[in-house]
Structure 1
Amino acid sequence: MIGRKEKIAFWTNLYNSIVIDGIARLGIERSVKEVAGFFSHIKYEIGGHLYSPDDMEHGILRGNTRPYFHPFKQFGIGDKRRKWVIDPVDSRIHFALVCGSRSCAPIDYYEPGKIYDQLDEAAKSFVNSSEVVTIPEDGKLLLSEIFRWYEEDFGGKPGVIDFIVDYLVDDKSRDFLRQAAGNVNLEYIYYDWNLNR
């Protein structure tokens, strides 16, 4: 039987591989935005069913949660691919998925036996990068758009802040967020869709 760790590692690695393969096969030169609906456009047959990166991310890895800007869940009630749904969502997954763009996470290979440690490391790396910036003197927290698009996966705005506090290594930034809590002004950093080369 395939457990949760195996599913997360398998579908994360597959997602990352398919995105990179899709970029290469379609001859994308600057950005995945060159192909309309890139993440739903490219599909691969796995076990007799077609899967797009959107199917893997929103349908499986996000617990069949609706994508941002979309009114419906990824898989309908009768969809046989629902057997792979991982629920509840592990919000750290957002820092393991490679969208081929500069603002997304760097690629890694995920192993079932190490997956939770690897997801912790991916989250820590992302939270302590230029994609999360605290400005205590202005009461601001600048965040990657990922935190806006998938806010519900973190438990809303308070959950986003708690998540960031858990992974921040800078004591001053962490203390600022703890003290300011609900009074932090969240702003979102432009998402750079240019290819991550």
Structure 2
Amino acid sequence: MKSYIIVVALAFGILGHSQSLNDFFTKSDAFFKSNVKSGKVDYKGIKSNPEALNELLSIAEGISVSTSDTKNYQAFWINAYNLSVIKGLVNKYPTTSPLDHDGFFDKTTYSLGGKQITLNDIENKLLRAKFNDARFHFVLVCGALGCPPIINSAYKPSTLDAQMQAQTVKALNGDFLRVNTKKERVEVSEIMKWYKEDFVTNGQSEIDFINTYREDKIPSNFKLSYFPYNWTINEQ
């Protein structure tokens, strides 16, 4: 009888975890569809009606997912990061930039996944430090116009790789860089300066990384520089 009880308890625990995680992805998807348009967030609307966001973060607080469950883990923390950035800006709204608020990324903590954690820790300790994938920089959205645009859907384990690929391709074929053919020069977002080590792995250059995703390839002899980051809030 004792063995039966243990098995049933474990089964309910696994089922409950799965249901909570699926609920988080489903409700996150609905939230982004309702509040994000063309890469911009309706902070004013969320401020006036914060119930859906607060419910999502409450669900996220009780979720625990292992790094070995890679796709669920990555999808959960990417969404948790983007939702927490929105929460942080909604709490300060009206505002013009996340940098107007001291400690926005490295001091303010959120209750997520059973942890009290900052935005920087999600990005650097839970994702970048555990997985060698520079595409995180194109799906983690810091609430500013200089970031790659936020999408109006949740990142889900079943579609995560395709979503990360699509956002990276979109950024590197769009506003993330500026090519001057006459001067043989390419300017890229300062993200590639701040996190250079992520883009030059396995002996590749930054231009090699860019060309992996870019349709119109950049010649390897082009000089690379960085343009200033736009920290203005990504508001509708």
Q: Would you say 1:155 and 2:200 are equivalent positions?
A: yes
1:39 match: 105
Distance (whole Å) between structure 2 residues aligned to residue 28 and residue 188 of structure 1: 30
TM-score for both structures, normalised by structure 2: 0.66
1:130 deviates by 1.9
Secondary structure at 1:16's aligned position in 2? helix
Query: What does residue 20 of structure 1 align with?
Result: 86
Question: Which amino acid in 2 is paired with 1:138?
Answer: K
Q: How does 1:100-119 map to 2 (within 5 A)?
A: 100-108=143-151, 109-119=154-164
The alpha-carbon deviation at position 163 of structure 1 amounts to 1.7
User: 1:165 and 2:211 equivalent?
Assistant: yes
Instruction: Return the offset for 1:9.
Output: 0.7
Question: Within 5 A, what are the aligned runs for 1:45-84?
Answer: 45-63=111-129
Runs of 4+ in structure 1 displaced over 3 angstroms? 156-159
Aligned equivalents of 1:46 and 1:117: distance in 2?
A: 25
Using the aligned pairs only, state the percent identity: 34
Cα distance in 1 for partners of 2:72, 2:114 equals 20
SS of corresponding position for 1:137: coil
Superposed CA offset, 1:105-147 (max 9, x none) = 2223211111111101000111011221222221111100011
CA distance in 2, matches of 1:28, 1:15: 20
Q: Does 1:193 align with 2:211?
A: no
Q: Assess if the C-alpha contact under 8 Å between 1:127 and 1:164 holds in 2.
A: yes
Q: CA RMSD in A?
A: 1.7
Distance across 2 between alignment mates of 1:147 and 1:97: 14
**Match for residue 140 of structure 2 among 97, 109, 132:** 97
Indicate if the aligned counterparts of 2:98 and 2:104 stay in contact, CA closer than 8 A: yes
Q: Judging changes above 3 Å, is the alpha-carbon distance between structure 1 residues 37 and 140 closer, same or farther for their aligned structure 2 residues? A: same
**Could you list the per-position Cα deviations for residues 25-74 of structure 1 after superposition, in whole angstroms to 9, with x for gaps in the alignment?**
123510011111210122112344211101100111111xxxxxxxxxxx
Gaps of 5+ in 1: 64-85
* Count of equivalent residues: 166
- The TM-score with structure 1 as length reference comes to 0.78
CA contact (8 A) 1:131 1:189 kept: no
Distance 1:47 1:158 in 2: 35
Contact 1:39-1:53 within 8 A present in 2 as well: yes
Unaligned 5+ residue runs, structure 2? 1-65
Distance 1:8 1:194, change over 3 A: same
Partner of residue 190 from structure 2, selected from 125, 135, 145: 145
Between structure 1 and structure 2, the one with the greater Rg is 2
User: 1:20–1:100: 8 Å Cα contact kept in structure 2?
Assistant: yes
In structure 2, the residue corresponding to 1:138 is in which secondary structure?
coil
Q: Specify whether residues 121 and 58 from structure 1 end up closer, same or farther in structure 2 by C-alpha distance, changes over 3 A only.
A: same
Supply the AA of the counterpart residue of 1:140.
R
Aligned-partner SS, 1:133: strand
